[in-house]
Amino acid sequence: MQFGKLPQIDHLNEAHFALPETRFWGAESHNSCRVFAGGTTWNIPQWVGSTYPAKTPRRLFPEAYGRQFGTIEFNATHYRIYPAQKMKEWADAVPASFRFCAKFPQIISHFRRFNQCEGPTDDFIDGLLALGPKRGPAFIQLPPHFAPKHADALWAYLQHWPRELAISIEFRHPDWFVGEQTHWERLASLGVGAVISDTAGRRDALHMQVTAPHVLVRFGGYEGHPEDVKRLESWAHWIEDAERHGVSEFHLLVHEPDSIHTPHTCRTFYARLSEKHRNSCVTPAGNGGATPTLF
């Protein structure tokens, strides 16, 4: 994740990374929260022999990934709208507990900017439906220059989005986080989530506005830096409070340079979860990928 990425963080302290106070827009609940952790791609040859079993061929990377992680930030759909049959093929390759968090096609969010998007939207929805029960919340990543003043078409688009398909939005332009902020309540009224970006160089994007029962956190890591361990521990503890406020699904979407360190980051997060949430979280065992790991 280049958004807010700093070349190094040794000059920063724990206070810089502290989680701000959370605003929960939903009602309190006694439902349990399912916790998922994963990366941004399964196409990492360097994982073969460590996270993936030795000699895993590239065509089996989706299956190997699904056995070791619980979720994925599915960026492939941002660059191409895949046919439903291909989406189903990927879904069939992973376990029943796995969830895809598909990124909206850029033709909708970046090129057409939510105008005249009926065709691409229908095609994208067909693909999401093909994922079946393995469909997690999809998310719209707004362009960095997309400010609140540009948002009329976005709100009209969201009004027509099928409510049964969970989605979130990642805001990037700084104006979304300053001044009068009525959009959080508006998202809550639509049941749309707000992606939380935990990235060192854009702490305003760590907005802590929870507008839906599903929470997606895009975590920008620094390859096992001691501050990363503290940050992951903070999120693990945060889930306990979020669950009481109605959060039923939490996805930690890990970004590491070249994704090499992603399995370790997921294991670190898992180790700091409560026993209750470990029971629902899939994460690599660090055993050479020899067996599927479901704790």
Q: In angstroms, rounded to a whole number, what is the distance separating the alpha carbons of residues 207 and 196?
A: 6
Q: In angstroms, rounded to a whole number, what is the distance separating the alpha carbons of residues 57 and 137?
A: 29
Determine what percent of the chain is predicted with pLDDT higher than 90: 90
Per-residue pLDDT reduced to its tens digit, 114-133: 999 999 999 999 999 999 99
Residue 213 has pLDDT above 70, yes or no: yes
Q: Give the per-residue pLDDT at 286.
A: 57
HSE-up (13 A, CA, CB side) for residue 13: 1
pTM: 0.95
Per-residue pLDDT reduced to its tens digit, 151-180: 999 999 999 999 999 999 999 999 999 988
User: What domains are defined for the chain?
Assistant: 31-278 (3.20.20.410)
Q: Give the per-residue pLDDT at 293.
A: 34
Mean of pLDDT over the chain: 94
Please give the average per-residue pLDDT across 49-68, as a whole number. 97
Per-residue pLDDT reduced to its tens digit, 181-198: 999 999 999 999 999 999
**Closest to 48 (Cα-Cα) out of 295, 221, 293, 290:** 290
Which range (1-5, 143-147, 155-159, 289-293) has the least confidence? 289-293
Find out whether 214 and 225 touch, Cβ atoms under 8 Å.
no
Where does the pLDDT of residue 93 fall: very low under 50, low under 70, confident under 90, or very high at 90 and above? very high
133 conformational bin, left if phi > 0, alpha if psi -120 to 50, beta if neither: alpha
